[in-house]
Structure 1
Amino acid sequence: MFDDHSPIYRQIAEQIKADVLRGVLSAEEQVMSTNQYATHYRINPATAAKAFQQLVDEGVIYKRRGVGMFVSAEAPQRLRDEKRERFFTDVLDPMVAQARTLGIPAADIVTRIQHLMDQGDAR
């Protein structure tokens, strides 16, 4: 599950966010405790705690005293909105700049995107 490219606590936080986005974890659903997470993935509990604290700070999860950690009600939508904005900034904006450089008309781009989206619907 973990690679050497970024700190493990960040990878844990990103995995939990991905689980929320995919619906594996739903709003108001309880998540594993830091100790359960540490035991399951054989990592230091402090590393898991650091990931969970990052998620709390970002409003993805929250703690119910004496009960555990839960996905916040607004987390799925907030994460989708953040990913959507990053998609436009990181993918679409550079693509449009490149299309301008190459002289590709917007209509051609829209047609191609629609074709690709339709192929995805057929699967």
Structure 2
Amino acid sequence: MDPDWNDSQPIYRQIRDRVVAMILDGLLKDGDSLPSVRNVATESRVNPLTVLKAYQGLEAEGLVEKRRGLGMFVKADARELLLGAERARFLSERWPEIHATILRLGLAGELLGAASKRGEG
């Protein structure tokens, strides 16, 4: 994991978001083990308790499960669960601003034309 952190949100949240991105991108699949708390802490140069807090948050969200003596593992259907939640979050939090910018800049027609040329529309 990249040790470059931004100051806009807590590091444990950024670690959580990076694991979520890895699940969504298919880098971590159902049943895969998460990197150990110790390894992430060392590579990212953060306190192991920070990584543990991120992992506990993922567990509370039902995305990973702890297996005693083995570590944390991606739960079955975690990607599908995430897709639904992340899509809803995108549509409610980010899309309104993006849509307003598209309209403000008069890009709607251009974007539709570009999408149809690629076969997406």
Scaled by the length of structure 2, the TM-score of the pair is 0.78
Deviations along 1:68-117, whole A, 9 cap, x unmatched? 11011121001111111122223445638x96xx9xxxxxx6x7654343
Equivalence for 1:84: 87
State which of 96, 112, 115 in structure 2 corresponds to 1:117.
Answer: 115
Deviations along 1:39-78, whole A, 9 cap, x unmatched? 1111101111111111110111111111111011121001
Matching residue's letter, 1:6: Q
Q: How does 1:39-58 map to 2 (within 5 A)?
A: 39-58=42-61
Structure 2 segments unaligned to the other structure (5+ residues):
none
Deviations along 1:3-49, whole A, 9 cap, x unmatched? 11111000000000011001111111011111111111111011111
Scaled by the length of structure 1, the TM-score of the pair is 0.76
Q: How does 1:1-123 map to 2 (within 5 A)?
A: 1-92=4-95, 95=99, 114-118=112-116
Structure 1 segments unaligned to the other structure (5+ residues):
103-108
Change (3 A) 1:31 1:46: same
Matching residue's letter, 2:115: M
Aligned-residue identity in percent: 34
Q: Tell me the matched-pair count.
A: 114
Matching residue's letter, 2:75: S
User: Hey, which of these two has a bigger chunk of helix by percent?
Assistant: 1
Mapped to 2, the partners of 1:71 and 1:114 lie a distance apart of: 37
Q: Name the larger-Rg structure.
A: 1
Matching residue's letter, 1:115: G
Change (3 A) 1:57 1:4: same
Aligned alpha-carbon RMSD (Å): 2.8
